[in-house]
Amino acid sequence: MQTAYVYARFSSDNQREESIDAQLRAINEYCDTNDIRILQVFKDEAFSARTDKRPAFQELFGLIKEKPADLLIVHKLDRFARSRMDAAFYRQKLKEAGMRLVSVLERLDDSPESIIMEGILESMNEYYSANLSRETKKGLRENILNGKRNGGKVPFGYTLVDHHLIPNRDAETVRWIFNLYAEGKGVTEIVRITRSPVHNIRPMLMNEVYLGHLISGENRCEHAHEAIIDEDTFFACQKRMQDKRMNAANRAKVDYMLAGLITCGVCGKRMIGMSSKGKYYYYSCKTAGCRIYRKDDLEERVIKELAKWFTPTDDLKALFFDLVSRRVNSRTESEDAMKAEYILRQRISKMIDSLQYAETQEDTKAIMEKVNELRRQMPKPKPKREVSRDDCDRFIERFCRIEQMDREEQKSLLRKTVDQIAVTPEDIGLFMTVKRGVVVAINKQQDLPPMGYNTGEKR
């Protein structure tokens, strides 16, 4: 009988306890059917999966380090993590403990199609989280475009009056600081000369608020309030900081995409990144006589090999369509409406909180009109969306174009799907670890690594 830990989570305060109860009910049925013994259940209530700072989640991984089980079971993969970085990091911790992540709703195994599908689902979860965040910020756009500050700490040198920034007596100190920096004075020296209460001066020197601009995400309103600094002085400071950053960038370390993954397929030793004269970069092992590989050439070969594996086959498309259909069918209309309602309630709460700053009856009336408008936008149940097979197929086709991704996306996907890489002058082998340390090839018709491949070496 296999053993398992269980993790359940819901994200917003206006969701009910039943949200977790429904997850646990489905998990218990799955465990009963598959003869799995649950060791302990961990629950995070009203915590988002966009962050790993969840009490029960951290307690769970602290216990896994000391007392691993066979499985970690969740209702859906988005209960585990919405960030691809977090998902990859904690999946690695599970692998190191010899455990496997199981989603009750998304029935995936160790087949190549299932491995690819996990990466796709994690990308979708992160997109959903980012899209939800973008929706919550739409209500702030109007304020920015009207020259009103949305909140946060008021910049040094300004006073907030009716949501607008007005220069105060500290504005002269701000001008002094900018002028000293533009003339070549260092930050520490400026703090000593001006005796300014602002000790973290660099962010201040980069803040376009002193040009009179308001910026919030992609929203920008120029000349929204009175400027303290003229453009010549501001951009002289930016140029000086840019020159400093360029000098630092020239000294930065080179990013080796395959670091920690790549092994010499001849002698079995771990390969490391190295450079010659600071101009030429290679991967090499420490065995005399083994070949070294140019960094860019080898990384390109690995990505091409990975691209061959990420082929949008009919089986992969069918599996993806089946999983997406199940997800949509499992989500009730009340759950869909609940997420949209939560966003609106947050915005209404902020509007009502702002009533305390209203100075006239007209201000109060304007705020309440906006509150009533938001209340009218409360979602009503809509017919359940139909899942289109054509849309699912097109998504898979786009996702599998690995060679067209940018470098960071390629690196992230590589590290989520591949544990070890063996390279010889003629060939490249991609390997993954499953079921307590068993190594299998994912791009070759073989179950074991090539001769000399060191599977016992820890990453």
Taking only the tens place, the pLDDT of each residue in 397-419 is 877 788 888 888 888 878 877 88
Cβ-based neighbours of 69, under 8 Å, separated by 6 or more = 2, 3, 4, 5, 39, 99
- The alpha carbon of residue 287 and the mean position of all alpha carbons in its chain are separated, in whole angstroms, by 38
Q: Is 99 exposed, middle or buried (0-12, 13-18, 19+ CB in 10 A)?
A: buried
Region 327-346: mean pLDDT is 62
Region 66-91: mean pLDDT is 78
Q: Identify which of 453, 176, 117 has the alpha carbon closest to the alpha carbon of residue 313.
A: 117
Pull the structure tokens for residue 165: 């920034």
Predicted confidence at residue 128, as pLDDT, reads: 47
Residue scoring higher pLDDT (237 or 79): 237
Region 285-311: mean pLDDT is 87
Q: How confident is the model at residue 390 (pLDDT cuts 50, 70, 90)?
A: confident
Strands of the sheet with 71-74, listed across from one edge: 36-45, 2-10, 71-74, 100-103
Which residues are paired to 36 by β-bridges? 2
Distances (CA, A) of 51 to 55, 123, 256, 384, 416: 11, 15, 27, 30, 18
DSSP 391-432: HHHHHHHHHT-GGGS-HHHHHHHHHHH-SEEEE-SS-EEEEE
Which CATH architecture fits 151-250? Alpha-Beta Complex (3.90)
Domain 2-134 falls under CATH 3.40.50.1390: yes
Pull the structure tokens for residue 331: 């989500």
Q: How confident is the model at residue 36 (pLDDT cuts 50, 70, 90)?
A: very high
Within a 10 A sphere around the Cβ of 354, how many other Cβ atoms? 16
Predicted confidence at residue 265, as pLDDT, reads: 86
| 221: three-class secondary structure by DSSP | strand
Predicted confidence at residue 298, as pLDDT, reads: 92
| pTM of the model as a whole | 0.40
Predicted confidence at residue 201, as pLDDT, reads: 85
What confidence tens digit (pLDDT) does each residue in 427-449 have? 888 876 654 455 666 666 444 44
Predicted confidence at residue 340, as pLDDT, reads: 66
What confidence tens digit (pLDDT) does each residue in 102-136 have? 888 876 655 555 666 666 665 555 544 444 444 44
Region 346-368: mean pLDDT is 77
